[in-house]
Structure 1
Amino acid sequence: MKRRVAILISGRGSNMAALIRAAAAEDFPAKIVVVISNRADAGGLEKARASGIPTATIESKSFGKDRAAFETALQSALDEHKVDLICLGGFMRLFTTGFVQRWYGRMLNIHPSLLPSFPGLDPHGQALKAGVKISGATVHFVIPETDAGPILMQGAVAVRDDDTPDALAARILEVEHRIYPDALRLVAGGRIRLDGDTCKTAGSAASDATLISPAAG
């Protein structure tokens, strides 16, 4: 039976769209049953509706700083749609520890850096300032700490000498669209095992792929 997934968004829903496309495949082990936004003007809502996905809006602004009250309304929507797994796709709202613990091992997030490096805001600017030669994106389980939690999957790109934050972000976004659906496939398919603070993957093909940047040739 396919796992029932809710995607939470606050904006354009770029990763949301990638997940919806992947889940449309007959053999994908998850079904996107609802897209929920905390902003009524989120562009991703219309994209979801155009794809035939039910949507809901729970305006976080009206709850002010009362995160618990917002989460009660959110949980009601999740319960209504019988959600098994949550994918955060640019969801700009922090959760309480209680909500995160309730969904531990069942709530995924994607961050545009190779965590644990460059968490938080402006990861691309952070990467360029640090002078790293490789950056990328990370799918991880959500824990109370921001941009932390057991790492499910990572994808990398080379950082160019002439990169700007926007140029680097565009290349990493392509990686995000590849690895987020793959990570959800692993989780929904029951192929991920949490071993303390790390994820173990059952039946994954060994890879000797190496990315070295810059090339010394």
Structure 2
Amino acid sequence: MADKVRVAVLISGRGSNMLALAEHRRRDHDRSYEIVLVASNVPEARGLVLARRLGIKTWSLSHKGLDRRAFDEQLDAALRSNEVELIALAGYMRLLSPEFVEGWEGRILNIHPSLLPLHKGLDTHRRAIVAGDEFGGCSVHVVTADLDSGPVVAQERVRILPRDDADSLAERVLEVEHRLYPKALEDYARALRAAEEEAQDE
């Protein structure tokens, strides 16, 4: 196939979804994306260590002392200098500035631990249980300026069991995330490259 889509994964913590994305890529070389950078607003994030062990380039900068726009300008510069084409948020616990989102319109994906549009924001598993929902789950969506409101490109349900608390539900949903996100990124990257090639042929 054509050149693989160059992906940056943004993390703030342990990087378990980043690892799932990377391992998916490594298992089969006939993939549509390549992770070329793992970036974080937390220089001590454990996921950066995992990325380096996998031979993936990393970038980090603490957001402390910087306003959102100033930080995002430096992040944007790092992404563009590494010729990134698509961004995957994977446990990135920082809101992106409107200017950043606009500059990467249609090229930022996020995985959210609820069945969007239900339970946007934080504490999703407890809120699903309190609401009496039959299912929790996760959604991969395109990032827009409105929090957790962009188009959903993939979603999977996880039944909420009578014995579930927020932690047990979160653990089972995370297992699904690790399966859903790589496939969603694969499909989105493939469609992105196909659209670019079609535009060039016109």
Runs of at least 5 residues in structure 1 that lack an aligned partner in the other structure: 194-217
1:142 aligns with 2:139: no
Higher RCO, 1 vs 2 (CA within 8 Å, ≥6 residues apart): 2
Give the % identical residues: 48
> How does the TM-score come out when normalised to structure 1?
0.85
Q: 1:4 aligns with which of 3, 6, 9?
A: 6
**How far did 1:104 drift?**
1.4
Q: Is the 8 A contact 1:186 1:192 kept in 2?
A: no
SS at match of 1:190: helix
Deviation at 1:191, TM superposition (A): 6.6
Q: RMSD between aligned alpha carbons?
A: 1.5
Are 1:61 and 2:64 counterparts? yes
Instruction: Provide the residue aligned with 1:211 in structure 2.
Output: none
Code of the aligned partner of 1:170: E
Which residue matches 1:42? 45
Among residues 22, 29, 35, which one is paired with 1:32 in the alignment? 35
Number of aligned pairs?
A: 192
Q: Where is the helix percentage greater, Structure 1 or Structure 2? A: 2
Structural mapping, 1:1-217, within 5 Å: 1-24=3-26, 25-63=28-66, 66-190=67-191
Tell me how far 1:62 sits from its aligned partner. Answer: 3.1
The SS at the match of 1:4 is: strand
Provide, for residues 174-212 of structure 1, a one-character-per-residue CA deviation record: whole Å limited to 9, x for no partner: 11001100110111111799xxxxxxxxxxxxxxxxxxx
Q: Distance in 1 between matches of 2:30 and 2:188?
A: 14
State whether residues 144 and 150 of structure 2, in contact with CA within 8 Å, keep that contact through their aligned partners in structure 1. Answer: yes
- Pair 1:164–1:44, CA change in 2 (3 A): same
**Deviation beyond 4 Å, 4+ runs, structure 1:** none
Q: Is the contact between residue 73 and residue 100 of structure 2 (CA under 8 Å) also seen in structure 1?
A: no
Aligned to 2:197: none
AA paired with 2:178? H
TM-score, length-scaled by structure 2: 0.92
Q: 1:32 to 1:192 in 2, by over 3 A?
A: closer
